[in-house]
Chain A
Amino acid sequence: MMEALMALVIGVLTACGVYLTLRARTFPVVLGLTFLSYAVNLFLFTMGRLTIGRPPIIHWTAADYADPLPQALVLTAIVISFAMTAFVIMLSLKAREELGNDHVDGRDDA
């Protein structure tokens, strides 16, 4: 059940992300990239298999463990995608100002 829910969430996020990234205005594109990074973060998380109530570090009462590595990967990926999102927002604002519109090609007609 949980697997199906996660798969559905990742799938919907990715689909939204791809659709929005292919739009012609910078704001939807930035949103799309954000959705894609959410999707990939969840995806990385599930790659350590879905477990509930298991410690990720050594504990003497634990019978089984959650994989700690994907959590470290997701943390790194979140930090990087945060920085990248901040950068692409600033760049889009700069482009809006310099090109006079928010089209990714800087054209007014489309």
Chain B
Amino acid sequence: MSHLIIAPVLLPLFAGLLLLLLRSVLSVRIHRTLSLIAVVGQIGLAIALLSRVHSGEILTYMLGGWIPPFGIVLVADRLSVWMLLITALLALPALLHGVRGTDLRGRHFHILFQWQLFGLSGAFLTGDLFNLFVFFEILLLASYGLLLHGGGRLRTRAGLHFVIINLAGSTLFLFAVGTLYGILGTLNMADLARQVALVPAEHLGPVKAASLLLFGVFILKSALIPLHLWLPAAYANTSAPVAALFAIMTKLGAYAILRIDTLIFGSSAGALAGMLDAWLLPLALLTLVIGMLGVVAASALRQQIAYLVVASVGSLLTAFALGSAAGIAAGLYYLPHATFAAGAFFLLADAIASRRGGFDDRFEPGVVLADRKVLGGLFFVVAMLSVGLPPLSGFIGKWMTLQAALPHPSLPWIMASILGTSLLGIIAMARSGSVLFYRAEAAPVDSATPLRVGTRTRELLPAILLLLLCLALVIWAGPVDEFARATAAQLLQPEDYIRAVLEP
């Protein structure tokens, strides 16, 4: 039993605690440095874990030495570690952008940031359903604080909706977990997978209801139609580093759907196998279409990016809903791309909005932008990434999804939705790019003289870092694809996971 498995959970927890206890002693500079060191350490831990699970080994960690299924168990397999790595890689640029002033606009930014990572890491690693609920609550409480960080009317209103809908979601989560425990008598996910196959016929109804309720909660978290309405306002009104970090939050819902669907309701689940199949694909395609219509209709850049996040969840879950190894692999390749691209777009939108004075990020012919060449170039790259034009990673992800969809009976629907929304995306991006960069009428606002190259690079560095990560996904598409395929194969063999947890 290696303690490395719990390290990604403990590091942000203790980093946050340390920052909280020393908040009045340390200067802002040391505060920021400690926070950054913790995130870099998190990347290191994720890479160390990746090298351990790369071979296909499934690592388990029994908290308190309790033998599963009685105690809480942490499980690190390929999927968990992949999610951990993506989270850590996204957190670093988001934090680098945050230390440029956002963290001073309210209190406890770094503490909340670390605890958000704490909740995310725990949710990815846990192998216990109730523990998953607890980690969801931890990351949600941190996200409420982060979302409201800095204050303001619109932020408070969006925050109120976000908090209330998530509280209702948490209650439903508890109802679902309680029902499953009442009938199956366990909360350990591996043990649940075994018990589900043995459910007597008279208990199938409640188990099915509870499981669908559980999936409903995950659909709320991943902002799938019809539970997506909380997302655009919340993401569009919060500060840039927080919005960038939140790009992973919808993916957490997608992770939970994938994990529970393959592990508990996989092929060995008897009467309940593939329970979600009839629902997931139509919902995902509908999300993709409605999300992209939102992108076209958006009246401001941040709102547009928030709808792009909705649409990307649609693409992601379309790939997962195919159910085949190739489909899941395509989704696992698309997931980091969508996360990094959305993060980069939010950070870039902040830089653009800050140069437009009172026009902010609204799509109105505004001022001539300072640094328009650099910003315009970056906007072009991010827009191409987001709508999936070749040769960037969005294209590869969509191509892999379409490739995997070829044998699927609903191929025409999938093909039409993905290609049609890509076209809509291109039109919307071209429109917003031309409004922001070409149709400028007023003279630059006073402070908008081009910044010196050094300052400008430092400001745009986080967004560029995320774009480089997307570029890395293209350059090393082969190894990443290989890893994604191995992960998909592991997910479709839930017996290995169950044996690793229950028979260590």
Contact = CB atoms under 8 A, between A and B. Distances in A.
Contact of B156 (A36, A44, A98): A98
Interface string A15-58: 00100010000100100010011001001101110000000000
Interface residues of A, dominant DSSP: helix
Interface residues of B, dominant DSSP: helix
A84 B157 contact: no
A98 to B, nearest CB: 5
Interface in B141-170: 141, 144, 148, 151-153, 156-157, 159-161, 163-164, 167-168, 170
B134 to A, nearest CB: 6
B160 A76 contact: no
A68 to B, nearest CB: 11
B175 interface: yes
Contact of A73 (B130, B137, B170, B179): B130
B424 to A, nearest CB: 29
A95 B167 contact: no
B489 to A, nearest CB: 34
Contacts of A88: 163-164, 167
Given A33-B164, A88-B164, A95 B156 contact: yes
Given A43-B175, A47-B181, A98-B153, A84 B167 contact: yes
B156 A83 contact: no
A104 interface: yes
Contacts of A91: 144, 148, 156, 159-160, 163
A48 B182 CA distance: 6
Interface in B191-248: none
Given A43-B175, A47-B178, A87 B141 contact: yes
Contacts of B164: 21, 29, 33, 88, 104
B174 A40 contact: yes
A84 B170 CA distance: 10
Given A47-B179, A83-B141, A95 B160 contact: yes
Contacts of B187: 69
Given A87-B144, A104-B161, A104-B164, A47 B137 contact: no
A80 B134 contact: yes
8 contacts: A26-B160, A40-B171, A40-B175, A47-B179, A84-B137, A84-B141, A95-B160, A104-B161
Given A91-B148, A92-B160, A106-B153, 19 more contacts: A17-B171, A21-B168, A33-B167, A44-B177, A47-B181, A69-B181, A69-B187, A70-B178, A73-B130, A73-B177, A73-B178, A77-B174, A80-B134, A84-B137, A84-B141, A94-B156, A98-B152, A99-B156, A99-B157
| Nearest 10 pairs of A and B residues by beta carbon | A47-B182, A44-B178, A40-B174, A47-B178, A36-B171, A106-B157, A80-B137, A98-B156, A95-B156, A95-B160
